Chains A and B, each alone.
Chain A
Amino acid sequence: MNSMQLYLHVNGELKQWTIAPGDLLLDVLRREGYFGVKRGCETGECGACTVLVNGKPINSCLMFAAQAEGCEILTIEGVEQGGKLDPLQEAFLEYGAVQCGYCTPGMILSAKALLAERPDPTEAEVREALAGNFCRCTGYLKPVEAVLAAARVYRQSRKQVRPSGARPKAERRPALHGKKR
Chain B
Amino acid sequence: MSSEHSIVGKNLRKVDGFKLVTGRPAFTDDIHIPGLLYGKILPSPLAHARIKRIDTRKAKVLPGVHAVLTYQDVPRVPHTTAGQSWPEPSPYDTYLLDSKMRFVGDRVAAVAAESRAIAEEALRLIEVEYEVLPAILEIEQAMSDGTPVIHDEPDSKGIHDAQHNLAGYILKEIGNVEDGFRESDLVIEREFRTQRQQHCPLEPHVTISWLDSDDRLVIRSSTQVPYHTRRQVAMILQLPVQRVHVIKPRIGGGFGGKQEMLLEDICGALALATRRPVKIEYTREEEFNMARSRHPQILTIKMGVKRDGTLMANKMTVLATTGAYGSHANTVQGNTGSKVLPIYRTPNMRFECHVVYTNTPVAGAFRGYGCPQGYFAQESVMDEIAYTLGMDPVELRKKNMIRLGDIDELSAQLGEGRKGLPRHIRSCGLPECLERGAAAINWVRKRETLPEKSGHLRRGVGVACSMQGSGIAGVDWAAASLKLNEDGSFNLQVGAADLGTGADTVLAQIAAETLGVTLDKMIVCSGDTDFTPFDVGAYASSTTIISGGAVKKAAEKVRDHLLRLASKMLDVPVDNLTCRDNMVVTKCECEKSVSMEDLAHYAMYREKVQVMENASHWNTDSPPPFCAQFAEVEVDTETGQIRVLHLVTAVDLGVAINPMQAEGQSEGAVAQSLGYALTEEMLLDGSGRMINPSFLDYKMLGAKDMPKLTTILVETEEPLGPYGAKSISEIPINAPAPAVANAVFHAIGVRFRKLPIRPEDVLRALREKAERG
Interface centre among A46, A77, A136 (most CB of B within 10 A): A136
B182 within 8 A of A: no
Question: Would you call the interface of chain B mostly helix, strand, loop, or mixed?
Answer: loop
CB-contact partner of B672 in A34, A103, A136, under 8 A: A136
A104 touches B21 (CB 8 A): yes
CB-contact partner of B21 in A40, A108, A134, A135, under 8 A: A108
- Residues of B contacting A144 with CB < 8 Å? 703
A40-B202, A140-B703 as given contacts; A98 in contact with B20, CB under 8 Å: yes
Within 8 A of B (CB), among A117-159: 126-128, 130-131, 133-144
Interface-facing stretch out of A2-10, A63-71, A87-95, A169-177: A87-95
Nearest opposing residue in chain A for B667, CB measure? A139
Nearest opposing residue in chain B for A20, CB measure? B117
What is the CA–CA distance of A131 and B704 in the complex, to the nearest angstrom? 6
A100 within 8 A of B: yes
A53 within 8 A of B: no
B671 touches A140 (CB 8 A): yes
What is the CA–CA distance of A179 and B502 in the complex, to the nearest angstrom? 49
B20 touches A130 (CB 8 A): no
Nearest opposing residue in chain B for A100, CB measure? B500
A80 touches B22 (CB 8 A): yes
Interface centre among B23, B283, B694, B696 (most CB of A within 10 A): B23
- Residues of B contacting A40 with CB < 8 Å? 202-204, 284
Nearest opposing residue in chain B for A94, CB measure? B13
B663 touches A96 (CB 8 A): yes
* Binary A-proximity of B643-684 (CB < 8 A = 1, otherwise 0): 000000000000000001101110111111000000000000
Q: Min CB distance, A166 to chain B, in Å?
A: 20
What is the CA–CA distance of A40 and B203 in the complex, to the nearest angstrom? 6
Interface centre among B24, B27, B251, B703 (most CB of A within 10 A): B703
A127 touches B17 (CB 8 A): no
What is the CA–CA distance of A112 and B394 in the complex, to the nearest angstrom? 45
A136-B700, A137-B253 as given contacts; A99 in contact with B199, CB under 8 Å: no
A46-B695, A136-B668 as given contacts; A102 in contact with B252, CB under 8 Å: yes
A99 touches B16 (CB 8 A): no
What is the CA–CA distance of A43 and B671 in the complex, to the nearest angstrom? 22
* Binary A-proximity of B249-278 (CB < 8 A = 1, otherwise 0): 011110100000000000000000000000
- Residues of A contacting B452 with CB < 8 Å? none
CB-contact partner of A134 in B665, B669, B695, B709, under 8 A: B695
What is the CA–CA distance of A40 and B500 in the complex, to the nearest angstrom? 16
B149 within 8 A of A: no
Interface centre among A35, A137, A139 (most CB of B within 10 A): A139
What is the CA–CA distance of A103 and B26 in the complex, to the nearest angstrom? 13
B86 within 8 A of A: no
- Residues of A contacting B24 with CB < 8 Å? 35-36
What is the CA–CA distance of A137 and B575 in the complex, to the nearest angstrom? 45
- Residues of B contacting A76 with CB < 8 Å? 21-23
What is the CA–CA distance of A37 and B284 in the complex, to the nearest angstrom? 16
What is the CA–CA distance of A60 and B371 in the complex, to the nearest angstrom? 39
CB-contact partner of B703 in A48, A101, A127, under 8 A: A127
Interface centre among A34, A85, A130, A141 (most CB of B within 10 A): A141
- Residues of A contacting B660 with CB < 8 Å? 95-96, 142
What is the CA–CA distance of A120 and B284 in the complex, to the nearest angstrom? 36
B202 touches A43 (CB 8 A): no
A100-B499, A139-B668 as given contacts; A43 in contact with B255, CB under 8 Å: no
Q: Min CB distance, A109 to chain B, in Å?
A: 10
A41 within 8 A of B: yes
- Residues of B contacting A43 with CB < 8 Å? 284, 694-696
Within 8 A of A (CB), among B278-327: 281, 283-284
Nearest opposing residue in chain B for A97, CB measure? B664
A35 touches B25 (CB 8 A): yes
A136 touches B202 (CB 8 A): yes
- Residues of A contacting B669 with CB < 8 Å? 139
- Residues of A contacting B250 with CB < 8 Å? 100-101
B639 within 8 A of A: no
- Residues of A contacting B11 with CB < 8 Å? 96
Instruction: Please tell me the size bucket of the interface on B.
Output: 35 or more
- Residues of B contacting A45 with CB < 8 Å? 694-696
A101-B21, A103-B202, A136-B202 as given contacts; A131 in contact with B26, CB under 8 Å: no
What is the CA–CA distance of A135 and B667 in the complex, to the nearest angstrom? 11
A35-B25, A136-B255, A137-B668 as given contacts; A41 in contact with B284, CB under 8 Å: yes
Nearest opposing residue in chain A for B502, CB measure? A99
Q: Min CB distance, A75 to chain B, in Å?
A: 7
A33 within 8 A of B: yes
A75 touches B23 (CB 8 A): yes
What is the CA–CA distance of A68 and B660 in the complex, to the nearest angstrom? 40
What is the CA–CA distance of A37 and B283 in the complex, to the nearest angstrom? 16
What is the CA–CA distance of A141 and B668 in the complex, to the nearest angstrom? 9
What is the CA–CA distance of A105 and B30 in the complex, to the nearest angstrom? 14
What is the CA–CA distance of A40 and B222 in the complex, to the nearest angstrom? 14
A94-B13, A102-B27 as given contacts; A36 in contact with B22, CB under 8 Å: yes
Nearest opposing residue in chain B for A32, CB measure? B32
A79 within 8 A of B: yes
Nearest opposing residue in chain B for A76, CB measure? B23
* Binary B-proximity of A22-37 (CB < 8 A = 1, otherwise 0): 0000000010011111
A13 within 8 A of B: no
A36-B24, A136-B255 as given contacts; A141 in contact with B201, CB under 8 Å: no
What is the CA–CA distance of A160 and B19 in the complex, to the nearest angstrom? 26
- Residues of B contacting A46 with CB < 8 Å? 202, 284, 695
B173 within 8 A of A: no
A101 touches B500 (CB 8 A): yes
A138 touches B21 (CB 8 A): no
- Residues of B contacting A131 with CB < 8 Å? 702-704
- Residues of B contacting A95 with CB < 8 Å? 660
What is the CA–CA distance of A26 and B13 in the complex, to the nearest angstrom? 30
A77 touches B22 (CB 8 A): yes
B283 touches A100 (CB 8 A): no
What is the CA–CA distance of A110 and B22 in the complex, to the nearest angstrom? 14
A85-B22, A98-B20, A101-B21 as given contacts; A141 in contact with B203, CB under 8 Å: no
- Residues of B contacting A93 with CB < 8 Å? 13-14, 17-18, 21
A134 touches B23 (CB 8 A): no
B501 within 8 A of A: yes
B123 within 8 A of A: no
What is the CA–CA distance of A142 and B665 in the complex, to the nearest angstrom? 11
B636 within 8 A of A: no
What is the CA–CA distance of A38 and B667 in the complex, to the nearest angstrom? 23
A139 touches B671 (CB 8 A): yes
Q: Min CB distance, A112 to chain B, in Å?
A: 12
CB-contact partner of B670 in A80, A133, A139, under 8 A: A139
Within 8 A of B (CB), among A38-60: 38-43, 45-46, 48
What is the CA–CA distance of A162 and B432 in the complex, to the nearest angstrom? 49
B253 touches A136 (CB 8 A): yes
A41-B284, A43-B695, A43-B696 as given contacts; A101 in contact with B20, CB under 8 Å: yes
B42 within 8 A of A: no
Q: Min CB distance, A94 to chain B, in Å?
A: 7
A33-B32, A38-B203, A99-B500 as given contacts; A133 in contact with B18, CB under 8 Å: no
What is the CA–CA distance of A102 and B283 in the complex, to the nearest angstrom? 16
Chain B interface (Cβ within 8 Å of chain A)? Answer: 11, 13-14, 16-27, 29-32, 199-204, 250-253, 255, 281, 283-284, 499-502, 660-661, 663-665, 667-672, 694-696, 700, 702-704, 706, 709
Known: A94-B13, A101-B26, A130-B703. 17 other contacts (CB 8 A): A35-B23, A35-B27, A42-B283, A96-B661, A96-B664, A97-B664, A100-B201, A101-B500, A102-B253, A105-B23, A126-B703, A133-B703, A135-B202, A137-B668, A139-B670, A140-B703, A143-B703
20 contacts between A and B (CB under 8 A): A35-B24, A36-B24, A37-B23, A38-B27, A45-B696, A79-B22, A79-B23, A89-B22, A94-B13, A96-B14, A98-B17, A99-B661, A100-B253, A101-B17, A101-B19, A102-B500, A135-B202, A136-B200, A137-B202, A141-B706
> 3 smallest A-B Cβ distances: which pairs?
A36-B23, A100-B500, A101-B20
